[in-house]
Amino acid sequence: MRLDREHAHALDAEDPLAAWRDRFVLPREASGGRELVYLCGHSLGAQPVRAADCVEEVMRDWRSLAVEGHFTGRRPWMTYHESLAPALANLVGAEASEVVTMNSLTVNLHLMLVSFYRPSGARRAILLERGAFPSDRHALESQVRHHGGDPATDLIEIGPRAGEDLLRTEDIVERIERDGERIATVLLPGVQYLTGQVLDVEAITRAAHRAGCSVGWDLAHAVGNVPVRLHDAGADFAVWCSYKYLNGGPGAVAGAFVHARHTRPGKALPRFAGWWGHDAATRFLMGPEFHPSPGADGWQLSNPPILALAPVAASLEHFAAVGLPALRQKSVALTGYFERLVHARLAGKVQVVTPAAAEWRGAALSLRLLGLSRDRARAVFDGMRRRSILPDWREPDVIRAAPVPFYNSFDDVWRCVDALHAELHPELRA
Ligand SMILES: Cc1ncc(COP(=O)(O)O)c(C=O)c1O
């Protein structure tokens, strides 16, 4: 393969999505203003230029319309969150009524567990992965305790085999089959946050349902990154945040999915309720009884923070305009190029932890620095930052970098690998 920078430039010249980079504000060095090679979209997505317009639109409507902004203006606040649902639903393979933008991820996880984790009899456990994101673990553990259970026995962990980094679908399925009668709920990530591994949502959901468990998915690293088909997979629920690949801004309003079969008329799942989850048609009759809105909207508690929804709206406009298939096509090419460069230039120095098959990974690669002490590995990462390259660091020895198809270029990827090469080969430094 060609390793020269001109080749990266040639790939950028052929990229049909290249112009989208200009619709994002990429961070710059504080001194000198040099643009950073931003590879942290898996952590906090870059700001869409349009986000400021959407925020200003809400500010303007608030100034000029005040309370009437709930009903008038380009995007009335009463239905603001509904206007986001179609684009969001497309990203997670859902019907618009199955998704809602609300709260933050961990809050939504708790709300979903209230409805879907209903331990009874011998079926009391939750299956999670050993490497689960800490907030998920805290939420699950506190739910178990809330129901009077003991996390030592009621949290069942599944991890990679000894000496391996990645989960195997067959191991997860086998565990569900083995312990199925004990498991009330399975909660797994669509994309594992540390390794970037995509999990088999369909196969695992089917296995869990065969065993009589409810199944939920944490899509924090999946939404807007890889295609997910929640409805067809039959998942019971899912939650995600909007600040990573969804570019909704720090702490952006998050999302949740509830499968349509749980919200058919006459089926009212137990839930924690608030007035915004009340059926919009009768909410303002202000009656004492709670009648949930149809669909996922029925899990809302409060009226939404419209100012915080505005950047999410801006970003979803972009997703709707480009479409996930086109983004994914570029993403596969970008990350494939990234991996090939790493193998060609950093062989023996760096292990790619993320699966090799495009189907089983998203944009991000997790790179383990081989044969270095923790401090030396960290120094390599810090050296990259000094070269204006911004991936992120996960203890003790992993660098995660996500070339995001909306705003990263093949040249960004080339510069990242070149910086890593320079840091790992100090003897070649000028
Ligand atoms: C996989 C995963 N789950 C859960 C969370 C927690 O999200 P929040 O702080 O928005 O609740 C994160 C945050 O980065 C995450 O990456």
- 239 Cβ closer than 6 Å to some ligand 1 atom: no
132 token code pair: 């689960």
217 strand-pairing partners: 188, 238
Q: How much is the pLDDT for 268? A: 80
Mean pLDDT over 329-358 rounds to: 97
Closest CA to 360 of 390, 330, 395, 336: 336
The alpha carbon of 73 and the centre of ligand 1 are apart by a number of angstroms equal to: 33
Nearest ligand 1 atom to alpha carbon 193: 1
400 strand-pairing partners: 366, 392
- 133 Cβ closer than 6 Å to some ligand 1 atom: yes
Mean pLDDT over 79-87 rounds to: 97
As a whole number of Å, the end-to-end CA separation of the chain is 26
Question: Average pLDDT, whole number, for the chain?
Answer: 96
- 47 Cβ closer than 6 Å to some ligand 1 atom: no
Say if residue 430's pLDDT is above 60.
no
Q: For 144-174, what is each residue's pLDDT tens digit? A: 999 999 999 999 999 999 999 999 999 999 9
Q: How many CB atoms neighbour CB 105 within 10 A?
A: 22
Going by alpha carbons, the residue nearest to atom 10 of ligand 1 is 105
* Ligand 1 pocket mutation, candidates 195, 225, 241, 312, criterion most atoms within 8 A of CB: 241
pTM value is 0.97
Q: Residue 321 — pLDDT band, cuts 50, 70, 90?
A: very high
Q: How much is the pLDDT for 426? A: 77
- Beta carbons of 246 and 90 less than 8 angstroms apart: no
- Beta carbons of 412 and 419 less than 8 angstroms apart: no
The alpha carbon of 82 and the centre of ligand 1 are apart by a number of angstroms equal to: 23
Q: How much is the pLDDT for 31? A: 82
CA distance to 93, 133, 138, 232, per residue, from 339 (Å): 28, 25, 34, 31
Mean pLDDT over 256-275 rounds to: 92
The alpha carbon of 424 and the centre of ligand 1 are apart by a number of angstroms equal to: 31
Nearest ligand 1 atom to alpha carbon 43: 14
Q: How many CB atoms neighbour CB 252 within 10 A?
A: 23
Q: For 197-229, what is each residue's pLDDT tens digit? A: 999 999 999 999 999 999 999 999 999 999 999
The alpha carbon of 47 and the centre of ligand 1 are apart by a number of angstroms equal to: 19
Query: What is the bridge-based pairing of β-strands 155-158 and 237-240?
Result: unpaired
Q: Provide the CB-side half-sphere exposure for 142 (13 A, CA).
A: 13
Mean pLDDT over 326-345 rounds to: 98
The alpha carbon of 105 and the centre of ligand 1 are apart by a number of angstroms equal to: 6
- Percent of the chain, pLDDT > 70? 99
The alpha carbon of 43 and the centre of ligand 1 are apart by a number of angstroms equal to: 9
Q: What is the 3-state secondary structure (H, E, C) of the chain?
A: CCCCHHHHHHHHHCCCCHHHHHHEECCECCCCCCECEECECCCCCCEEHHHHHHHHHHHHHHHHHHHHHHCCCCCCHHHHHHHHHHHHHHHHCCCHHHEEECCCHHHHHHHHHHHHCCCECCECEEEEECCCCHHHHHHHHHHHHHCCCCHHHHEEEECCCCCCCCCCHHHHHHHHHHHCCCEEEEEEECECCCCCEECCHHHHHHHHHHCCCEEEEECCCCCCCCCCCHHHHCCCEEEECCCCCCCCCCCCCCEEEECHHHCCCCCCCCCCCCHHHECCCCHHHCCCCCCECCHHHHHCCCCCCHHHHHHHHHHHHHHHHHCHHHHHHHHHHHHHHHHHHHHHHCCCCEEECCCCCHHHECCCEEEEECCCCHHHHHHHHHHHHHCCEECEEECCCEEEEECCCCCCCHHHHHHHHHHHHHHHCHHHCC
- 414 Cβ closer than 6 Å to some ligand 1 atom: no
218 token code pair: 């944490």
Q: For 380-408, what is each residue's pLDDT tens digit? A: 999 999 999 999 999 999 999 999 999 99
The alpha carbon of 133 and the centre of ligand 1 are apart by a number of angstroms equal to: 7
Environment class of 324 (CB within 10 Å of its CB; exposed 0-12, middle 13-18, buried 19+): buried
- 136 Cβ closer than 6 Å to some ligand 1 atom: yes
Q: How much is the pLDDT for 429? A: 60
Q: How much is the pLDDT for 428? A: 65
Angle between helices 105-116 and 134-146 (to 10 degrees): 40
**What Rg do the C-alpha atoms of the chain give, in angstroms?**
23
Any idea of the CA torsion for 29, 34, 37, 39, to the nearest 10 degrees? 30
Residue 106 to residue 31: CA distance in whole angstroms:
36
Residue type, 208: A
- Beta carbons of 417 and 341 less than 8 angstroms apart: yes
The alpha carbon of 427 and the centre of ligand 1 are apart by a number of angstroms equal to: 40
